[in-house]
Structure 1
Amino acid sequence: MSIEARLAELGIELPKAAAPVAAYVPVVVANGLAHVSGQLPFVDGQLVTGRLGEDVSLEDGQAAARACGLMILSQLQEAGIALDRVERVVKLGAFVNSTADFTDQPKVANGASELMFEIFGDKGRHARAAVGVPALPLGAAVEVDAVIAIAD
């Protein structure tokens, strides 16, 4: 089954790829690896902002991380990389805007991780970092970047 068919089966529609907010490119491919810049969470066209442990719930944080995962896939497509060419999701890095006493960053990051498993199956299993930070660009609640192996 193609990834497009899998997305349709899951009822997932990818968002429009967001333009960079600073001096970088969204995707760089080198040596068979697509390095996807950190993506922010947009839900229904609106940026999810706030801080976990303060004004964003764990569930909303997980949904924000999932939205970042969807944006990663959109950026691949925008770069001209068909999702059927994904050989493996190698690594995700999740940055969670959180209070000093919030320690569930890994649970927040599961929103993006579980999405990759859901779409790509075993090829979606990856290494990961989940880090708490005091602030993110534009006040975003979560940011996720990725390294993805791409077939020729």
Structure 2
Amino acid sequence: MADTIEARLAAAGVTLPQAAAPAANYVPTITFGNLLQTSGQLPLDGGKLAVSGKLGAGVSLEDGQKAARFCAINVLAQAKTALGGDLSRIGRLLKLTVFVASDASFTEQHKVANGASDFLVEILGDAGRHARSAVGVPALPMDAAVEVEALFEIR
């Protein structure tokens, strides 16, 4: 069938990476009942941080959106691993929380978060429409520009 998550990923030219191992003392995902929560995912590309620094202080809005998209790709990689490789078990994306490393004067965190939201709606279709928080923070692990966590309903 052409309208699957895997087909949409392929059409977007995206190959999910191997899910990143935790960088500290936590688990990458946890399942409780029919919910799957991911830990925060950084904008890794090829195992390396793709975008670092702060929005409004050297990192452009466009680069922030690119970072958020990389985070969303890594969220899906974690979900795929947690679901035994079967992304069709995703019933719905319920909530995204997007943390944006920001200069004190930067106020467009919501636009940065669209990099993740737009990608996930493209890949998950209507099941990707979600509630969201976009939060400016002074710093993120490894000087990442963006970090994204997700809560999914699973089948």
Unaligned runs of 5+ in 2: none
Q: CA RMSD in A?
A: 1.0
Q: Does 1:90 align with 2:89?
A: no
Using the size of structure 1 for normalisation, the TM-score is 0.96
TM-superposed deviation, 1:115: 0.7
TM-superposed deviation, 1:52: 0.3
Q: Is the 8 A contact 1:43 1:64 kept in 2?
A: no
Give the aligned partner of residue 134 of structure 1: 138
Give the aligned partner of residue 26 of structure 1: 28
Deviations 1:101-150 (A, max 9, x none): 00000000000000111011110000000000000011110000000000
Give the aligned partner of residue 53 of structure 1: 56
Using the size of structure 2 for normalisation, the TM-score is 0.94
2:72 to 66, 69, 72: 69
SS in 1 for 2:148: strand
The answer to which of 32-41 and 75-84 deviates more is 75-84
Deviations 1:28-63 (A, max 9, x none): 010101000000001343202111001110000000
Distance in 2 (alpha carbons) for counterparts of 1:126 and 1:77: 19
Q: How many residues align?
A: 151
Unaligned runs of 5+ in 1: none
**Residue 102 of structure 1 aligns to which amino acid in structure 2?**
F
**Residue 104 of structure 1 aligns to which amino acid in structure 2?**
E
**Residue 81 of structure 2 aligns to which amino acid in structure 1?**
E
Q: Percent identity?
A: 58
**Residue 132 of structure 2 aligns to which amino acid in structure 1?**
R
Q: Is the 8 A contact 2:8 2:122 kept in 1?
A: no
TM-superposed deviation, 1:17: 1.2
